[in-house]
Amino acid sequence: MDVTMKTFNAASYMNMELLRFTTAGSVDDGKSTLIGRLLYDSKSIFEDQLASIEATSRRRGESMVNLALLTDGLRAEREQGITIDVAYRYFATPRRKFIIADTPGHIQYTRNMVTGASTANLAIILVDARQGVVEQTRRHSIIASLLGIPHIALCVNKMDLVDYREDVFEKIVSEYREFATRLKTKDIHFIPISALHGDNVVHRSANMPWYEGVTLMYLLEHIHIGSDLNHIDMRFPVQYVIRPYNDAFHDYRGYAGRIAGGVIRKGDKVVVLPSGFSTVVKAVEFAGQELEEAYAPMSVTVLLEDDIDISRGDMIVREGNQPRQSQDIEAMVCWMGDKPLQQNGKYALRHTTRDARAIVKEIKYRLDINTLHRITDNVTIGMNDVGRISLRTTTPLFTDAYTKNRETGSFILIDESTNVTVGACMVID
């Protein structure tokens, strides 16, 4: 089958850095069109995909190929012309691999945005050049900041509809900069684009000679994300204990999992939580090969010098650098459940590889997501709300503040009667 996708050396592809980014903005700001343009102009779509959306565009009577159809995959989305669910897309260039989360713009789908943005390195926030900074712009920016997304790219879209005017772009940049002083995210980039025509998306625009910055694709390929992860505090939640039980590996006992923070090296002195036993790292393995060191977010197998009783949910850390161990947790929660969060309600909890049960001791306040004001009177936290809560768990959790480590600083709450995830939580130090 003929394809327009670029081909890469397999070994180089596996070693390429991965950037996760999310898109957000108001309804009709062009999020799906932008992603379609990124995929199309970077030659990352198959010929049959292109033929399909061309046919759909003709059937709908559209004068141009609707690139938004590449991501609006649900029938309900295509019929309404809006994004409802979180659409994930994967593509690569010679410099990087990418995972895109195309998230909805409607207020009632804020929980979907939280889902898509929870693991992102960068948030692309779109602004309609004709509308400027609106409530949803501020809302999505605040959520991106709360979720600890390190980088924001504010893309002023539909510049073609304002005649590519520099003063329109500068006015929006000035307004957003003033608002952004309240955000924790400090690395913010501003790019004027037209997703429909491709201006400054992958290729530089001849229509905006006054803009001297980079294109969106250049930013995505070159922005530094190596320091976004915590490489200081070593955290290794054990996911699975490997015991082959055969003659070739008679005494083999390995602990498999994904490194949640820091670096693990052979010879490191470590402590196993919750037992508190000390030991030394005997080896670190990946795909049957021994490594000199491994770092977050690699998935590896760790072997220890001493035979210690370790199971799923335990955590291996350095002797002099341990997380907080407690059954009392303070957290910000984004509520996703149909029923409001219940004071004294009991929920299942999942933190890294550790499962527990928790009771909500107190609902402290609800956050006005548009102004960051705290609402403390008659507090109810319903779907799409964000608030602060206190919990007590049935077993100690090994946590860091979310601002310090997004892996060990987050957990989810699950409704035990339906097994549905109802809360995404961020630990407060």
Can you give the pLDDT at residue 87? Answer: 63
Comparing C-alpha atoms, which of 237, 291, 227 is closest to residue 260? Answer: 237
Topology agreement, domain 235-318 and domain 324-427? yes
Across all residues in the chain, what is the average pLDDT?
A: 85
Does position 13 have pLDDT exceeding 60, yes or no? no
Rounded Cα distance, 235 and 408, in Å: 8
Rounded Cα distance, 156 and 190, in Å: 8
| Least confident segment among 74-78, 150-154, 350-354 | 74-78
Does position 15 have pLDDT exceeding 70, yes or no? no
CB neighbourhood size of 374 (10 A): 13
Can you give the pLDDT at residue 70? Answer: 65
Can you give the pLDDT at residue 4? Answer: 39
Q: Higher-confidence residue: 1 or 298?
A: 298
DSSP 8-class letter at 67:
G
Q: pTM score, two decimals? A: 0.80
Label residue 65 by pLDDT band (50, 70, 90).
Answer: low
Does position 74 have pLDDT exceeding 50, yes or no? no
Rounded Cα distance, 3 and 393, in Å: 52
State what percent of residues in the chain have pLDDT above 70: 87
Can you give the pLDDT at residue 385? Answer: 87
Fold for the domain defined by 235-318: Elongation Factor Tu (Ef-tu); domain 3 (2.40.30)
State what percent of residues in the chain have pLDDT above 90: 56
Does position 194 have pLDDT exceeding 80, yes or no? yes
User: Are 141 and 179 spatial neighbours (Cβ–Cβ below 8 Å)?
Assistant: yes
Summarised one tens digit per residue, pLDDT across range 353-392 is: 999 999 999 999 998 877 778 999 888 999 888 899 999 9
Residue 349: partners with Cβ closer than 8 Å, 6 or more residues away: 355, 356, 357, 358, 391, 393, 397, 411, 412, 413, 414
Q: Higher-confidence residue: 69 or 200?
A: 200
Does position 298 have pLDDT exceeding 80, yes or no? yes
Can you give the pLDDT at residue 303? Answer: 95
Residue 372: partners with Cβ closer than 8 Å, 6 or more residues away: 142, 182
Can you give the pLDDT at residue 143? Answer: 85
Rounded Cα distance, 217 and 38, in Å: 7
Can you give the pLDDT at residue 370? Answer: 74
Rounded Cα distance, 137 and 370, in Å: 9
Average pLDDT of span 319-325: 93
Q: Which CATH code of 3.40.50.150, 3.40.50.300, 3.40.50.720, 3.30.479.30 fits the domain covering 10-222?
A: 3.40.50.300
Residue 429 CB-density burial (10 A; 0-12 exposed, 13-18 middle, 19+ buried): exposed
- What angle in degrees, to the nearest 10, is found between the helix axes of 135-146 and 110-117? 40
Comparing C-alpha atoms, which of 416, 410, 420 is closest to residue 338? Answer: 420
Q: Higher-confidence residue: 78 or 252?
A: 252
Residue 56: partners with Cβ closer than 8 Å, 6 or more residues away: 66, 69, 78
Comparing C-alpha atoms, which of 139, 228, 230, 216 is closest to residue 187? Answer: 228
Cis peptide upstream of residue 192 (ω within 30 degrees of 0):
no
- Amino acid letter, 222: H
Q: Which CATH code of 3.60.20.10, 3.40.920.10, 3.50.50.60, 2.40.30.10 fits the domain covering 324-427?
A: 2.40.30.10
Comparing C-alpha atoms, which of 389, 393, 274, 390 is closest to residue 327? Answer: 393
Does position 405 have pLDDT exceeding 80, yes or no? yes
For the stretch 309-340, what's the b/e string if a residue is b when 16 or more beta carbons lie within 10 angstroms of its beta carbon?
Answer: ebeebbbbbbeeebbeeeeebbbbbbbbbeee
Does position 1 have pLDDT exceeding 50, yes or no? no
Q: Higher-confidence residue: 382 or 117?
A: 382
Q: From residue 188, give the alpha-carbon distance in Å to each of 48, 150, 176, 179.
A: 37, 9, 10, 12
Average pLDDT of span 189-198: 93
**Structural domain boundaries in the chain:** 10-222, 235-318, 324-427
DSSP 8-class letter at 275:
T
Six-digit token string for 62: 């559209």
Average pLDDT of span 287-301: 91
Label residue 151 by pLDDT band (50, 70, 90).
Answer: very high
Can you give the pLDDT at residue 108? Answer: 52
Can you give the pLDDT at residue 12? Answer: 43
Summarised one tens digit per residue, pLDDT across range 240-289 is: 999 887 776 777 899 999 999 999 999 999 999 999 999 999 999 998 89
Residue 360: partners with Cβ closer than 8 Å, 6 or more residues away: 341, 342, 343, 344, 345, 346, 347, 389, 390, 391
Residue 59: partners with Cβ closer than 8 Å, 6 or more residues away: none
Q: Higher-confidence residue: 24 or 321?
A: 321
Rounded Cα distance, 379 and 391, in Å: 16
Can you give the pLDDT at residue 79? Answer: 45
53 three-state secondary structure: helix
Does position 160 have pLDDT exceeding 70, yes or no? yes
Rounded Cα distance, 271 and 306, in Å: 11
Q: Higher-confidence residue: 330 or 227?
A: 330
Q: Higher-confidence residue: 351 or 135?
A: 351
